[in-house]
Amino acid sequence: MTHTDDEFSFLQGQVDLLGLSGPVPSVRRASVEFGSATVSALLWTERPELTFLHGGGLNAHTWDATVLSLGRAAIAVDLPGHGRSSWRDDLDYSPATNAPEVAAVLDQFAGGTPQHIVGQSLGGLTGIALLGQRPDLVQSLVVVDISPGVLPEDTGQVRDFLAGPQIFSSREEVVEKAFASGLGSSKEQLVRGVTLNTRVRDDGSVVFRHHLANLEPGQSVHTGDFTTLWAPLEHSDVPVLLVRGSRGFLPPPVIAEFTERVPRARVLELDAGHNVHEQQPAALAAAIHEFIATVS
């Protein structure tokens, strides 16, 4: 497995795998300062119209294939504590705390232009929090395999993966653990994801880039009460698309609650697990394209 530190080295392979024509679109690393923190992001050409927010334990590159499939100007944010964004000493990675840092990125690189917000898991909840705090930044909202009504017992897949020793002898070991946990559709794609989400230390050991897997004994992150996020959805008329993975986190009763409480929401199911954007990037991109065409 490669130990490259070139974060864009996989893009041509993604283009080829997706069967896309033409060169790799322009993309660069960008960041803003928010208080004492740095918030990092990937800027896919200038003047983004879509903003992508990843799930817990992932990073902005998890959206590469979806962004490439869409072929539209976008920005993908590394949420606080993830990717190349700063870790928080207070361990508060709740959606309500994440949202102002996302807003700072959009104020800087989108000029405050309302965005089509696409968020998966923790990123979806952060998008809902952003809707509540900065509705001027949200033109529409795509929520991928998450709901304020998600039950703790339905999120065991990710919890199990992050449990246990988080220092590895190699990236191959991480890939095998992730594959055994059911988090990827192919080892080829997991190799890419693991390479971009880990770093090799001077002693040759491998650790994740995100804070969640680098806690001290006795520490735990704060994610807040997700049920408080019903209010932004219920008190707004912003168009909403809920995308459910058929093998993801949202059982039928949770979907039913979402549609009852947010009746304007459209619901789409794709044949995927929780990480819909990694397992079905082209299908998700097509759904996003169709959805925003009706609300732009």
Please check whether residue 227 is in contact with residue 147, taking contact to mean a CB–CB distance below 8 angstroms: no
Please check whether residue 92 is in contact with residue 126, taking contact to mean a CB–CB distance below 8 angstroms: no
What is the distance, to the nearest Å, from the Cα of residue 80 to the centroid of all Cα atoms in its chain?
Answer: 12
Q: Residues near 215 by Cβ (< 8 Å), separated by ≥ 6?
A: 91, 221
Which residues are tagged catalytic?
Answer: 121, 145, 274
Please state, as a whole number, how many other Cβ atoms lie within 10 Å of the Cβ of residue 264: 11
Tokens 């897997």 correspond to what residue? Answer: 213
Tokens of 138: 């949200």
CA-based nearest residue to 117, from 92, 93, 146: 146
CA-based nearest residue to 249, from 143, 175, 135, 127: 143
